[in-house]
């Protein structure tokens, strides 16, 4: 991930739009296009990948899981594991955003990276400073 490019940390609410036709899909796909063009870098916490692949399974078939994973890898998205630093920042984000720990993981990664959070979950992330809200309406 180049430090010269802006980094967007994706919440799973954005990542699922890459595979599931729903409101905001064009905006979510535009983030991939921008990453492919080298304009931005993408990152996400590990649990978001699990959630995205679960949505693929729920809406398609088990045969679609591996190709979806390959598309995620090809996007160049950096996947961040759960670490003590992420846990501590997520706990802080729970307090700040009044959201669940699960919902606080993407904002925690964004905070630690000095990145923009991209989310379609306005309830959980609307108060995050500079959040890029992807419409789900």
Mean pLDDT of 54-81: 94
Whichever domain contains 115, its CATH number is 3.40.50.1010
Angle at 119 between CA 55 and CA 116, to 5 degrees: 135
The reply to whether 2 falls in a domain is no
Residue numbers of the domain that contains 24 = 7-133
| Domain count for the chain | 1
The reply to whether 1 falls in a domain is no
Distance (Å) of CA 60 to CA 27, 100, 120: 22, 28, 22
The pLDDT value recorded for residue 36 is 87
Mean pLDDT of 30-36: 91
The model's pTM = 0.91
């Amino acid at each position: 991930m180049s430090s010269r490019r802006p980094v967007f940390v994706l919440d799973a609410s954005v990542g699922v739009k890459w595979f599931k036709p729903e409101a905001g899909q064009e905006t979510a796909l535009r983030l991939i296009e921008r990453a492919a063009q080298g304009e931005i870098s993408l990152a996400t916490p590990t649990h978001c990948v699990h959630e995205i692949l679960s949505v693929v399974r729920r809406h398609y078939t088990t045969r679609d899981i591996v190709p979806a994973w390959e598309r995620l890898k090809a996007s160049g998205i950096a996947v961040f594991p759960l670490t003590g630093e992420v846990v501590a920042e997520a706990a802080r984000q729970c307090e700040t955003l009044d959201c669940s720990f699960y919902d606080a993981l993407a904002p925690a990664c964004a905070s630690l990276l000095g990145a923009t959070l991209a989310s379609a979950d306005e309830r959980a992330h609307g108060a995050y400073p500079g959040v890029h809200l992807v419409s789900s309406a």
